[in-house]
A and B are shown apart, each in its own frame.
Chain A
């Protein structure tokens, strides 16, 4: 039969624009989040992380915003460049069924495809 794959959200921007990629996370108890960038044929590349005691964190050209009230995370990329074209994933630390934090386990979102046009 026909396989059903993930239908990733897409974002298309012009070079130089600012990009905002959104992510809704699932567990209100999650207290650590990471954004990854994955280019075709490569493994996910760490971009930036944020802990739940923060609302905002800035890196080089990137800002992550965390809204715990609505369980929402966003990644803002300033002055987007063609080299930023990739799939972007948010990930949250996962918790075991017993309620404790699961070491070494991240739960990933489905990803967003960012395309930057020159």
Chain B
């Protein structure tokens, strides 16, 4: 199974940018990098995904290293509502697999 490694927890101040790192050294050429987040007492929700190039959407940005062995989810201005567990996941092509890593619990301070 492709594995991802994330810090257990991170803390941020409200209104400041947050950079959530993820290592995926065993990634293969066809694996996509996904980020989901899970707010307390809710199911996970999609944040962003990408293959090689950096990606932006209304929620966040995804920066992917040139060798693709790591990536960073960027929340440009953290709000209290962004406090959640953020999961970095490799979508393994042709394996129909979507394994969650252990996730990073983000705490946002007012």
* Chains A and B bind each other: no
Q: What residues of chain B have their CB less than 8 Å away from a CB belonging to chain A? A: none
Q: What residues of chain A have their CB less than 8 Å away from a CB belonging to chain B? A: none
